Structure 1
Amino acid sequence: MILIIRDRATKAQIDEMLEAHGFYIKLAVDIEHGILAGGGELHADCEAVLLEDGSTQENIWGASWNPLTQEVFYESLINIRPRQNNRSMEILDPA
């Protein structure tokens, strides 16, 4: 299940988003609006949910979160954006 999270995620929401992969959650984050979509099989699925919610693609970046280690991995195919000078799956701009 893909959820849009506008505030701090609850334990129940985290459990729902973990259903797809069990030990990590795929995310797409709208950096302009400060919201994320999490869960599902692909980062692109999360991106699509944010786009349907009114986000613009230029502001959406992909990542994954491991709740056991509390680590975020900023790698996703949706991050490959030559027109935004990001030619990698990793987010290259620290800002």
Structure 2
Amino acid sequence: MLIAVNGIASGMFASPDSSAIMGSVPPELRGVASGMRATFQNSGTAVPIGVFLSLMIAGLAHTLAAGLHQQGVPAAVAAQLGVNPVRHLPAPWPG
């Protein structure tokens, strides 16, 4: 239901917004304006996802480290949770 409301609201906003942008641009520059509008719209959709996930990961890592510290886990042991195990795999056979 929430997705449907979001879709309807976005549809109601996008058409008049695009029309207002294209109407305020001279006809010979409408292609450029349309490309810029699409670029900013796509960037505005994608960039916040990366920012949100980065903040979530940083917050969860901090919470996990604080929780482990409260439970008496030494910092050296807790730091091993962030180690990339693939980096420690044996090297390929020489050949």
Q: TM-score by structure 2 length?
A: 0.24
User: Which of the two has greater strand per residue?
Assistant: 1
User: Which of the two has greater helix per residue?
Assistant: 2
Q: Which has the larger radius of gyration?
A: 2
Larger relative contact order (Cα-Cα within 8 Å, sequence gap ≥ 6):
1
